[in-house]
Chain A
Amino acid sequence: MLELTRVYHFSAGHRLADPALSDDANEALYGACFRPHGHNYYLEVTVAGRPDPVTGMSVDLGQIDGAVHARVLDHVDHRTLEEVPALAGVVTTGEGLARAFWRLLTPAVPAGALRRVTVVETAKNRFQYEGEAA
């Protein structure tokens, strides 16, 4: 097996807030992250497979690109993440986004191919999600 990783980019606004908490409680919990702000995110999608003996390709990159654009990037790029219907109920931490993107992508890629979703929030923070079993 080998792993192929494709790197995508999007920019989005967000804030960390638990809707069940008061503003004061959210500010105490999330600090600066409670204030509306944004990031230049990178999204890394890793798929596992074996290269086809004839074509040398392990996955249909066009299918992966199409799925990532249609199911994730088109919804989040230059948006406020809290207003994205596909992310309803998600606290938009890096971990929360990685898990949400995994769940959005799983049905759109070949069964079992998705290995890892990595959300790079800043040059200093990266978050990986590998599914519930991992």
Chain B
Amino acid sequence: MTDQAASTRRFTFSAGHRYWVESWSPEENERFFGRLTVPHGHNYTLDVTVRGPIDPLTGMVIDLSELKRVVGETVVERFDHADLNADPLFRGRVPTTENLAMTVWELLAPKLGADRLWQVRVWEDPNLFVDYRGPDA
């Protein structure tokens, strides 16, 4: 095993959502999700962690400016000031914090490499966060 380290960069975006299952009646949705059926929004915080060997030349696991560019183009530009329910990625998929974390992983894994991407942490607010480390973890 080579010398491994993990690097985390933090991002923020603000997005709107509601909890709603299309195949349920409005009454079923309201009974199950309550006030979460009402469109509202959050200031999300996203911590992306990349893990790998420390490059002997650069001393880095990843150039954080590259990480910033990839996450910015792939996730932040897509979700910032957006209605998550209107995004095709959430068609038939309720935009819970859990599903958002998995969706962010699915967007980033092909760009960063599933072997390099270590963890996605999505904070819905300062009191709730979800960690996802991929389908195999």
Contact = CB atoms under 8 A, between A and B. Distances in A.
Interface in A1-58: 1-8, 51, 54-58
Nearest to B129: A5
Nearest to B136: A1
B102 interface: yes
Contacts of B96: 51, 55-57
B99 A4 contact: no
Interface in B20-42: 21, 23, 32-33
Nearest to A62: B34
A2 B126 contact: no
Nearest to A59: B98
Contacts, number: 54
A51 B21 contact: no
Interface residues of A, number: 15
A4 B130 contact: yes
B97 interface: yes
A55 B21 contact: yes
A39 B47 CA distance: 28
Contact of A5 (B33, B99, B128): B128
Interface string B61-101: 00000000000000000000000000000000111111101
A1 B99 CA distance: 12
Nearest to B33: A55
From A2, A7, A54, A61, residue with most partner B Cβ within 10 Å = A2
Contacts of B94: 54-57
A6 B129 CA distance: 7
Given A1-B137, A54-B21, A55-B21, A7 B98 contact: no
Interface string A60-75: 0100000000000000
Given A56-B95, A56-B98, A57-B96, A5 B32 contact: no
A23 B131 CA distance: 45
Contacts of A57: 94, 96, 98
B58 interface: no
B32 to A, nearest CB: 7
Interface of A: 1-8, 51, 54-58, 61
